[in-house]
Copies of this chain bind each other. A is one copy, B any other.
Amino acid sequence: MNKKQLQSEQTKKRVAEAARTLFAQKGYTATSIEDIVAATGSSKGNIYYHYQNKEGLFLYLLDEWDREWKEQWAEKEQLYSTIEEKLVGFAEHLVVNDLNHPLTKATDEFIYSEWKRSDVQEEVANYLSNHVQMNQRMLQQAMDAGELKTTDAWTLGFILEGLLMGLGEMSKRSPNYDTTLNIYRQAIHVFLHGTVLHKPSDQALAQGIGSQ
């Protein structure tokens, strides 16, 4: 690694970090290249030297994020044994690493602003599909272990993903950390144990015993 190459790499990172901060603060569209120029002291031409374009710069940041996210969860996952622990841990991981990540909102904005472009749509679909499959594996394991009712694991994975994504969507608006964490935990509980009241009489009747 040359002295020159080293310098170059550093400036590239400097740009990336400044961009991340700005995207987080102002959003994707509202952050202009000029803003990044002003924040880095670097020049416009230089940014276009290091990154293909504005979108490329943003996608670079998303890649970094995804990589880190996966690494961290892979480490954490091993710590849990039962499906309940695992799901709660997963929910917590989401709250900590996604909900509070600076780029969540900017990413949503980016996706929806470019929502017509098929390549973006494809990538999002891919990302979701991966997540659903991840959930599916997790749930299937639990089914095989006799922890969960045996049903279609893919559908269940889809529902779990929907639940967590929806909670995220809602929680982005109200930034109370403890409440959010609590809601996520309760949501996992609902996912596992449901909400209907099993009247003693019902169970008893089903088992051929008198009520009460």
Chain A residues proximal to chain B, CB less than 8 Å = 26-27, 29-30, 84, 105, 108-109, 112-113, 115-116, 121, 124-125, 128, 139, 146-152, 155-156, 158-159, 161-170, 173-174, 182-183, 186-187, 190-197, 199, 203, 207, 209
Contact = CB atoms under 8 A, between A and B. Distances in A.
A172 to B, nearest CB: 9
Contact of A26 (B116, B147, B148, B203): B116
A170 B163 contact: no
B105 A156 contact: no
A58 to B, nearest CB: 14
Nearest to A84: B196
A196 B146 CA distance: 9
Contacts of A146: 197, 199
Given A108-B112, A128-B170, A148-B196, 19 more contacts: A27-B115, A27-B116, A109-B113, A112-B113, A125-B173, A125-B174, A150-B197, A151-B195, A152-B186, A155-B182, A159-B183, A161-B170, A162-B183, A163-B166, A164-B166, A165-B169, A165-B170, A166-B168, A191-B195
Given A149-B195, A163-B166, A156 B190 contact: yes
A193 B196 contact: yes
